[in-house]
Amino acid sequence: MAIEVNHAIIDDGAMVGDGTKIWHFSHIMAGAVIGRNCTIGQNCFIASDAIIGDNCKIQNNVSIYKGVILEDDVFIAPSAVFTNVRKPRADTVVPTSSYARTIVRKGATIGANATIVCGVEIGENAMIGAGAVVSKNVPPGVTVVGNPAGILVSDIRGRNFVVGFDDYYVRKLNHK
């Protein structure tokens, strides 16, 4: 039996930490784990077996599906999208054991309307720009923007430009 609290639905068996606020029209499924002092915005969905750490802020209209893990201090801006199936089809049932795992590391920020394709890891303190489409692992501490997402870097004059993931790793290796 589900419990209705302040027009949010929190199913029996969901674990919600102390100090967490859940806004109107959100649904937290049984088996979901949400840490302490989080804010879950209006019209959010947290699936069973999704894991959300402490001090996370999830803005309006975000769904966190099974297989998605948010570590502590993660910020998700409005209408960001996560997926959990690599090749979805309407006529095929994908067993939940096949859902891809997506990890968002401590302190990362995901901008409004960004799409996070399943199976990636977003590094600690990384920044995902609004509207970016992330389909590859994001290193810690970098900013990615665009579709497909590339890494935002600066030249020696401080001018910003975007490089692909392969170029970023080659440059990083060559500068060590």
Tokens of 14: 């969901």
Q: DSSP of 142-162, one letter per residue?
A: -EEETTTTEEEEE-TT--EEE
Regarding predicted confidence, which is higher, 164 or 61?
61
User: Is the pLDDT confidence value at 170 over 90?
Assistant: no
More confident residue, 52 or 154: 52
69 versus 89: the higher-pLDDT residue is 69
Over range 119-133, report the average pLDDT: 97
Burial, 46: exposed, middle or buried (Cβ in 10 Å; 0-12, 13-18, 19+)?
buried
- pLDDT for 159: 76
Residue 86 is given by DSSP the state S
| pLDDT confidence band for 173 (50 / 70 / 90) | low
pTM of the model: 0.88
**Domains annotated on the chain, with CATH:** 2-174 (2.160.10.10)
Report pLDDT digits (tens) over 63-88.
Answer: 999 999 999 999 999 999 999 998 88
Q: Is the pLDDT of residue 5 over 70?
A: no
Number of C-alpha atoms within 13 angstroms, CB side, residue 176?
5
State residue 1's pLDDT score.
52
